[in-house]
Structure formats: C-alpha cells, structure tokens
Amino acid sequence: DIVMTQSPDSLAVSLGERATINCKSSQSVLYRSSNKNYLAWYQLKPGQPPNLLIYWASTRESGVPDRFSASGSGTDFTLTISSLQAEDVAVYYCQQYYSTPLTFGGGTKVEIK
Amino acid sequence: QLQLQESGPGLVKPSETLSLTCTVSGGSINSSTYYWGWIRQPPGKGLECIGSIHYRGSTSYNPSLRSRVTMSVDTSKNQFSLKLNSVSAADTAVYYCARVTGTTGFFDCWGQGTLVTVSS
C-alpha cells in the first residue's frame, strides 16, 4: 500500500494569512507516461460530506475558490490556502489514486489563530 | 446535480453483518466511466477506502477488509450496496458512499455519510 503522510497534524492561522499543508507519499504517484500525479485533496467540515478541492495534484475542482492551490510532483505535495477565511476551518486530506488500495493521509486540521 | 444518500441501520451487534445502501439521484449509475465506492471514518481517525464497484459488477476491495466485504449494484434502483460481515467495535465509523473516477480514481461526489455503531 502507498502510505500518505501529512504534516502538520494541525495548524492555526490568522484570518487573511497563508496556510500550507504538506503531503508525502511512500512512493511516487507520478505516471511518467502521462506526466500526471495521481493525487487529490479534500476538505472535511463537521457534519458535511468531504469536498473535493484538487485532483491531478494541481487542478482545482469546479466551484473551488481560487485561494486554494496545490503543487508538487512525485512524492511531495502541498496544498496552500492563500488567504484564510473563516469558512476554511476544516480538516484537509490528501489521497493517492496511483494504485489500489486508494489511501488517504492522516489529515491536517486548520483553525483560526 | 448528482446526489448520493446512504441508508441502513445505525446500530449493528458484534459478529453480525453491517448492510448499507447508497441511492444515486440526479444521474445514472450505469456509467462506464465511473466506479462507486465506500469510504469510512472511525471516530477521531482518518479516512479509509473500503472499496468500489462498477455497474457491470467488477469490484476492487481494500485487502485489509476483503475477506469481510461484499459490494453489489442494483441498476434498476440506481443503488449500490455494502455488506461487511463479522463486525466488531473497530468497525464503528461514519460510512460514506461516493462516485469514483475509475478503478484508481478520486472521489468527486460524496454522500452525507451515516454513522454505524457496533455495540451489543
């Protein structure tokens, strides 16, 4: 199984400031033939279903605010919230879909400082 | 607008079988493109993919649960189902159903989730 490791476990950021979440995979999730990274990011808020934010490591899902961006390749990935809003308080997960079983990171809780 | 909704008992006794159904509305389950998956989140823990199924019946199960899991599809009702047998307290979790963009894919639409507690 590909193990996904996120850091930090939690972070507190002031409103309007930048939040950065890291995700590392135990093996590369880059398919060289397509040059695509099989990595997605989700947002989970209490009482709500998970919300897909990013796929192919950096493609924003339709309707996701552009303050959310993501980057990385191979085994190291980053999700950035450029200017944290109150509604961004949530737990964020990365997920690899390079191989089965599909696996998630442990989650990063984002709070307001 | 695609919507998924989980249904099933919220309480299951140890050693019995957990059964959940996901009803898909606003779209057809008969898509060659997509798979339909189950994910769970134990209290205070992260997300775990249980597996997925294609409307034609092909499945992909997490090896950690494979011996206890069965998934099925009912295209006439636009539903897919999960059965997990021989449950224990460790299977207590919020169970989500979701659409998957392939055997190896991301989850682009999720149900609200349903809490299943395993307790006598």
At B103, the pLDDT band (50, 70, 90 cuts) reads confident
Give A18-75 as a DSSP string: -EEEEEEESS--EETTTTEE-EEEEEE-TTS--EEEEETTTEEPTT--TTEEEEEETT
- Encoding tokens for residue B50? 């249980």
**pLDDT tens digits for range B3-50:** 999 999 999 999 999 999 999 999 999 999 999 999 999 999 999 999
At B102 the pLDDT is 85
Min distance B115 CA to chain A CA atoms (Å):
11
SS3 for B68? helix
- Which residues neighbour A69 within 8 Å (Cβ) at sequence distance 6 or greater? A58, A60, A79, A80, A82
Gap between the Cα atoms of A28 and A40, Å rounded: 14
What is the side-by-side order of every strand in the sheet holding A76-81?
Answer: A4-7, A19-25, A76-81, A68-73
At B75 the pLDDT is 96
Task: Give yes or no for residue B112 having a pLDDT over 90.
Answer: yes
Min distance B6 CA to chain A CA atoms (Å):
11
> Rounded to whole angstroms, what are the CA distances from B1 to B27, B52, B102?
7, 21, 20
Gap between the Cα atoms of B117 and B120, Å rounded: 10
Task: Give yes or no for residue B104 having a pLDDT over 90.
Answer: no
- Per-residue pLDDT tens listing for chain A (113 residues): 999 999 999 999 999 999 999 999 999 999 999 999 999 999 999 889 899 999 999 999 999 999 999 999 999 999 999 999 999 999 999 999 999 999 999 999 999 99
Question: Is the minimum CB–CB distance between A61 and chain B shorter than 8 Å?
Answer: yes
Question: Is the minimum CB–CB distance between B34 and chain A shorter than 8 Å?
Answer: no
Task: Give yes or no for residue B91 having a pLDDT over 90.
Answer: yes
Render the burial of B70-87: b for 16+ CB within 10 Å, e for the rest.
bbebeeeebbbbbebeeb
Q: Which residues of chain B neighbour A48 with C-beta distances below 8 Å? A: 112
Gap between the Cα atoms of B104 and B52, Å rounded: 9
User: Taking a C-beta distance cutoff of 8 angstroms, is the pair A79, A53 a contact?
Assistant: yes
